[in-house]
Amino acid sequence: MTATAARRSDRRISPVFVGILAVTAVTGWATWTGFAEQPGVAVFLFVTAAWIVSLCLHEYAHARTALHSGDISVGSKGYLTLNPLKYTHALLSIVLPVLFVIMGGIGLPGGAVFIERGRIRGRWKHSLISAAGPLTNVVFAVVCTAPFWLDALDGVPTDFRFALAFLALLQVTAAILNFLPVPGLDGYGVIEPWLSYKIKRQVEPFAPFGLLFVFALLWVPSVNHAFFDLIDSILASLGISDVETYCGQDLFRFWQTSDFCSVSS
């Protein structure tokens, strides 16, 4: 295989990612048409698959930005194929974020791609690589909320609207949480190049626990309420009510669906 052919293979979209897109499309169609006997199952599969798609795009953004910043090793590692199975930490990248969604309705991508920072010169490039992931969640959130703030919901089935509202909530929470300057999260990666060597050495031992620390903190009632009040305010400014996000999450958790949303719809 020539070097050119190898580079093309390194950047070819993975069949795994295509399969996830197919699941998203099929379950989105089932949610829209009401094809499934249990709409909650369709919503669960649709939101989960779409969430995994956003995780793949999040990590792809990190890798692609690193490639253009000087780390050409990301191609040979498979990071440019959008295949979640190629990530350095599949548990942190896919399993834990999905569990966070199921347990708490929180969108929180984990660390995944390994960037060889020594290949990259310039603090701004390092910051941009870290920011690229959560900025992808911002774009995803804009797409999910567009029908609401464009007032283009005429003809959109109720279940699909609820599912889209919940998916938007996940993207907004992912963007905000990932921009927190906590070791192990992208927000810290943005500011890390600008910190002194001494501070970075002091913080380094805490990096593996940053993600779990944030998730544990969100289980504190006062913190949880303040955080979701902020999220609700942001979504309300984009035309999504807390009732819509609640019903979306209620449908997503089909195993414990209440009667409130069926009455509301």
Determine contact, residues 185/177, Cβ cutoff 8 Å.
yes
CA distance 49 to 58: 14
Distances (CA, A) of 207 to 77, 182, 186, 200, 219: 23, 8, 11, 10, 20
Residue 202: CB atoms within 10 Å:
11
Tokens of 207: 């990096």
Residue 59: active-site member = yes
Choice among 37, 59, 116, 204 that is catalytic: 59
SS3 assignment, position 187: helix
CA-based R_g, the chain, Å: 19
Catalytic positions: 59
